[in-house]
Structure 1
Amino acid sequence: MANVSSQDLGYEPIGKLLIKQAVPASIGILVMSLNILVDTIFVGNWIGSTAIAAINVVLPVSFFIAALGMAIGVGGSSIISRALGANQNAKACKTFGNQITLTILFTIVFVIFGLLFVDTLVPAFGGKGVIFEPAKTYYTIVLYGVPVLALCMMGNTVIRAIGKPKFAMYAMMFPSVGNLLLDVLFINILDLGMAGAAWATTGSYILCFLFILWFFLSEHSELKINSKHLGLDLPIIKEIGALGFVTLSRQAIVSVTYLLMNNILFDLGGETSVTAYAIVGRMLMFALFPIYGITQGFLPIAGYNYGAEKYKRVKEVIYTAIRYAALLATVIFVFLMIFPETITKVFTQDAQVIKETPSAMRWVFAATPIIALQLIGAAYFQAVGKAIPALLLTLTRQGLFFIPLILILPKFYGELGVWIAFPISDVLSTIVTFFFLKREVKLKLETA
Structure 2
Amino acid sequence: MLMIIWGYIYFVLIGLGMNSFINSQSFAKIGMLTILIGAIINIILDPIFIFTLGLGVKGAALATVISQFISAFGTIYFLTGKKTILKLQIKNMFLKKKYVTKIFSLGTAGFMMAITNSIVTIVCNATLQTCCGDLYIVIMTIINSIREVASLPGQGMANACQPVLGYNYGAGEYNRVLQGIKFVTLTSLSMMLILWLSITIFPELFIKIFSHNQEIINNSTSALRLYFFVFFMMAFQMVGQAVAVGLGKAKQAIFFSVFRKVIIVVPLTIILPAYIGINGVFIAEAISNFIGGGACYITMWFTIGRNLKKV
What TM-score bracket applies, with the shorter chain setting the length? over 0.9
1:166 aligns with 2:21: no
Unmatched tracts of structure 1, length 5 or more: 1-138
Whole-angstrom CA distance in 2 between matches of 1:178 and 1:272? 34
Question: If the length of structure 1 is used for normalisation, what is the TM-score?
Answer: 0.65
Tell me which amino acid in the other structure corresponds to 2:169.
Answer: Y
Whether the aligned pair in 1 keeps the contact of 2:178 and 2:305 (CA below 8 Å) is: no
**CA-atom RMSD, angstroms?**
1.9
State the distance in 1 between where 2:57 and 2:87 align: 38
Paired residue secondary structure (2:153): helix
* TM-aligned CA deviation for residue 381 of structure 1: 0.8
Amino acid at match of 1:349: H
Within-5 A mapping of 1:404-423? 404-423=267-286
Shift of 1:424: 0.3
Tell me the residue number matched to 1:259. Answer: 122
Correspondence for 2:228 among 333, 342, 365: 365
Distance 1:407 1:171, change over 3 A: farther
Moved more, 250-259 or 327-336: 250-259
Q: Which shifted more, 409-418 or 184-193?
A: 184-193
CA 180–243 in structure 1, closer or farther in 2 if over 3 Å, else same: same
After TM superposition, list the pairs within 5 Å mapping 1:47-446 onto structure 2: 139-144=1-6, 145-446=8-309
**What is the alpha-carbon distance in structure 2 between the residues aligned to residue 188 and residue 342 of structure 1?**
28
Contact 1:305 1:311 in 2 (8 A): yes
CA displacement 1:147-197 (0-9 Å, x = unmatched): 221122211122111211111211221121122222212334344443333
Give the distance between the partners of 1:176 and 1:164, measured in 2 at CA.
Answer: 19
* Alpha carbons 2:116, 2:257 under 8 Å: kept: no
Work out whether residues 150 and 192 of structure 2, in 8 Å CA contact, stay in contact via their aligned partners in 1: no
Q: Is the 8 A contact 1:163 1:300 kept in 2?
A: no
Separation in structure 2 between the aligned mates of residue 141 and residue 278 of structure 1, nearest angstrom: 25
Contact 1:315–1:441 (CA under 8 A) maintained in structure 2: no
Deviation readout 1:277-309 (Å, 9 max, x if unpaired): 222222112223321221122111111101111
Contact 2:261 2:288 survives alignment (8 Å): yes
Structure 2 Cα separation of the partners of residues 442 and 171 of structure 1: 35
Separation in structure 2 between the aligned mates of residue 318 and residue 199 of structure 1, nearest angstrom: 42
Matched AA of 1:151: I
Letter in 2 for 1:316: Q
Q: Which runs of 4+ in 1 moved over 6 A?
A: none
After superposition, the Cα gap between the structure-2 partners of 1:345 and 1:191, relative to the gap in structure 1 and judged at 3 Å, is: farther
Structure 2 residues without counterparts, runs of 5 or longer: none
Partner secondary structure for residue 216 of structure 2? helix
After superposition, the Cα gap between the structure-2 partners of 1:191 and 1:155, relative to the gap in structure 1 and judged at 3 Å, is same
**Deviation at residue 266 of structure 1 after TM alignment:** 3.0
Question: Matches of 1:157 and 1:222 in 2, distance apart?
Answer: 13
SS of equivalent to 1:224: coil
Task: Judge conservation of contact 2:239–2:297 (CA < 8 Å) in 1.
Answer: no
Aligned-partner residue type, residue 142 of structure 1: I
Cα distance change, pair 191–396 in 1 and its aligned pair in 2 (3 A): farther
- TM-score calculated relative to the size of structure 2: 0.92
Q: Counterpart amino acid of 2:141?
A: A
Inter-partner Cα distance in structure 1 for 2:20 and 2:305: 29
- 8 Å contact from structure 2 (residues 41, 67) kept in 1: yes
Change (3 A) 1:293 1:447: same
Greater shift in the superposed pair: 271-280 or 315-324:
271-280
The alpha-carbon distance between structure 1 residues 341 and 418, as it changes in their structure 2 partners (threshold 3 A), is: same
Alpha-carbon distance in 2 for matches of 1:425, 1:212:
37
Task: Give the count of matched residue pairs.
Answer: 310
Q: Aligned partners of 2:71, 2:266: CA distance in 1, in Å?
A: 33
Letter in 2 for 1:208: S
Are the counterparts in 2 of residues 215 and 221 from structure 1 also a CA contact under 8 Å?
yes
| Cα distance between partner residues in 1 of 2:117 and 2:2 | 20
CA deviation after TM superposition for structure 1 residue 140, in Å: 4.0
Q: Which amino acid aligns with 1:264?
A: T
Q: Contact conserved, 2:260 with 2:289, CA < 8 A, in 1?
A: yes
What do residues 234-266 of structure 1 show as CA deviations (whole Å, max 9, x unaligned)? Answer: 111111111111111111112222222333333
SS at structure 1 position matched to 2:18: helix
| Contact preservation (8 Å) 2:80, 2:89 | no
With over 3 angstroms needed to count, the CA separation of the structure-2 counterparts of 1:287 and 1:353, relative to structure 1, is: same
Matches of 1:207 and 1:158 in 2, distance apart? 17
CA distance 1:429–1:171, change in 2 (3 Å):
same
Q: Deviations over 1:297-352 (max 9, x none)?
A: 21111111011111010011101111111122111111111211122223222233
Q: 1:430 to 1:194 in 2, by over 3 A?
A: same
Does the 8 Å contact 1:216/1:223 carry over to 2? Answer: yes
Q: Which has the higher contact order (CA 8 A, sep 6+)?
A: 1
Q: Which moved more, 1:275-284 or 1:407-416?
A: 407-416
